[in-house]
Structure 1
Amino acid sequence: MPTIIDAFDEYFEMLPAISDDLKKEVYKLRYQVYCIETGFEDPANHQDEAEYDDFDDSSIHYLIRHKRFDTYAATTRLILPNKKNPERLFPIELHSQIQIPEAFKGIPRMALGEVSRFCVSKDFKRRKKESGTLTGISPDTDAYYSEDERRTFPHITIALIACLVKISAEHGIDYWYAVMEPALLRFLSTLGIHFIHIGPLTDYHGKRQPGIIKVSDLLEGVAKKNPELLEMLTFRGQYLQSFN
């Protein structure tokens, strides 16, 4: 019987955006999601139809590519700490009110990254009436994708997290900051992924919750809930030992 990874890999691939051309695809997809689909950003501020900011140069980016149509379904980035200036603030520290500093007391700045621009194109979203959210789901997929393909759409979110795990393993990141939609946090909780809330909801690309998580705790929580998902998050166990 095919595993979740096998089913996902049949239709999609996780692609590091390391070339200039792929980074342009990242920015184009973000423009589509943030400016056109959700309205969180004003298209007038992005005349080149690309959404990017000052943190992109210090980030590692990934894309999820749909193989059959050669289109990009989703993207995310991990903002890395600044090696020359470890005290440089992350976006969460600039745009959120952090009220629980003890949650990250003692965490080395060089082991801390921020999950950011975590989004899925509306064409690959699975729940009706949620196409106005960053990871919500569109009702208009039946005409384009087979039933087997649509079954894999929920795993796009898992694949984005897997990309972040890979980045973290390769760059020595043990903790993630994130500012996420409450709906996404609830979904992650069903997988065993529990971010620690470190402040109140903030209005940043919609109402979003600032939080932090240790990557090893994330993987341990998933292992207890669904070992098959753990295999996907760690690329069949390849990166599991990086966080022990």
Structure 2
Amino acid sequence: MFKSTSAKISKLWQSYQRLREATAISKHFSTFLTPVVANADDLKKEVYKIRHNVYCEELGFEPLRPDQMEMDEFDAFSQYCLIKHIGSDAFAGTVRLVTPSEEGQLLPLEKYCLHSISHDEFTPSHFDRHEICEISRLAVPAHFRRRAMDKFAGAATGAINESTYSEAELRCFPFIAIGLYLSAASLALTQGIQHAFVMMEPRLARSMRFLGIKYIKIGPTIDYHGQRAPYYINAEILLRDLAPSFKYMLRDIQVQVNKQMKEDS
């Protein structure tokens, strides 16, 4: 009887601790950072500028542009989110969600890396165009990262310059990249998009698994802006496996994203 009661108390305490941690992480993120849906032209320009800074100037993945804005053919049918640092109003990162709706509109992965997909059931053409998307062009400016060695192909870890921001803020900034992925997920979930693809470094995918974001590797690692592999995830997998801490964070981001999309409609 005593052991049974003790086990129940222990289980309740662990659940309480997890709930406190989940609430704390989400609250800490939202204290310093907020998602911004980049629907307006001025916000899209901020997206393209950040991408140029990271992909063209810093990493050299794309050629320099005279207007210092990195754009490509997929932007014609894409949506964007920015993460804004509340204290400074500076943008701490951006991510693109490529959302084709017509047969002629391809995902970047389909155009450049289709040969890397070795699982036929996860080929984008297996699904309706309006049900798929690709998360791409995630970029965090160097100003929001701790050291030059922290950057990796694909743009950014989310750590920041320790001499510029407070200790409290530093605990939050490693979540910038995570916040961008969850913002992209919110955009997709709001529109009923079920299937997402992404080309990413295997080590980043492994890190995401610790958070409960369990991307499925659907092909071998290839040399594409560094060592990357194709990955797949759907809404069911995301919502089922996401760690409690980040479910709260996703919920709060979804509220902000949904509110902004309604205001823009």
**Which category of TM-score, normalised to the shorter sequence, fits these structures?**
0.7 to 0.9
More moved, 15-24 vs 85-94: 85-94
Aligned 8 A contact 1:175 1:212 in 2: yes
5+ residue gaps, structure 1, are 240-244
- Equivalent residue for 1:91? 108
Matched, 1:69 2:51: no
The alignment's TM-score, normalised by the length of structure 2, stands at 0.80
Could you list the runs of 5+ residues in structure 2 that have no partner in the other structure?
Answer: 1-19, 257-265
Q: Deviation of residue 220 (structure 1)?
A: 1.1
- Give yes or no for the alignment of 1:11 onto 2:32: yes
Alignment of 1:55-66 (within 5 A): 55-66=74-85
Distance change in 2, residues 1:74/1:103 (3 Å): same
**For residue 133 of structure 2, what is the aligned residue in structure 1?**
113
Would the aligned equivalents of 1:28 and 1:50 in 2 still touch at CA under 8 Å? yes
Match of 1:172 among 155, 167, 192: 192
1:67 Cα deviation from its structure 2 partner: 1.6
**How many residues get paired?**
231
Q: Tell me the distance in 2 between the aligned counterparts of 1:169 and 1:33.
A: 27
SS across alignment from 1:141: coil
Query: 1:137, CA displacement in angstroms?
Result: 5.6
Q: 230, 236, 248: which is aligned to 1:231? A: 248
Which residue pairs with 1:242 in the alignment? none
Return the TM-score normalized by structure 1. 0.86
Aligned-pair identity (%): 36
Which residue in the other structure is 1:206 paired with?
226
RMSD over aligned Cα atoms: 2.2
Greater mean deviation of Cα atoms: 34-43 or 97-106: 97-106
Determine the structure 2 residue equivalent to 1:32. 53
Distance (whole Å) between structure 2 residues aligned to residue 221 and residue 151 of structure 1: 24
> What SS is found at the alignment partner of 1:173?
coil
Change (3 A) 1:115 1:132: closer
Aligned-residue offset at 1:238: 5.5
Aligned to 1:103: 122
Cα gap change, 1:88 to 1:57, in 2 (>3 Å): closer
Does the aligned pair in 2 maintain the 1:135–1:184 contact within 8 Å?
Answer: no
- Following superposition, the deviation at residue 174 of structure 1 comes to 0.5
RCO greater where, 1 or 2, for CA within 8 Å and sep 6 or more? 2
Matched-pair contact (CA < 8 Å) for 2:182–2:253:
no
CA contact (8 A) 2:158 2:176 kept: no
Counterpart of 2:63? 42
> Is residue 162–residue 235 contact of structure 1 (8 Å, CA) maintained in 2?
no
Partner of 1:80: 99
**What do residues 173-197 of structure 1 show as CA deviations (whole Å, max 9, x unaligned)?**
0110111122211211111222222
Give the superposition deviation at 1:135: 2.1
Cα distance between partner residues in 2 of 1:56 and 1:213: 22
Structure with greater Cα Rg: 2
**Bigger share in helix:** 2
Q: 1:22 to 1:111 in 2, by over 3 A?
A: same
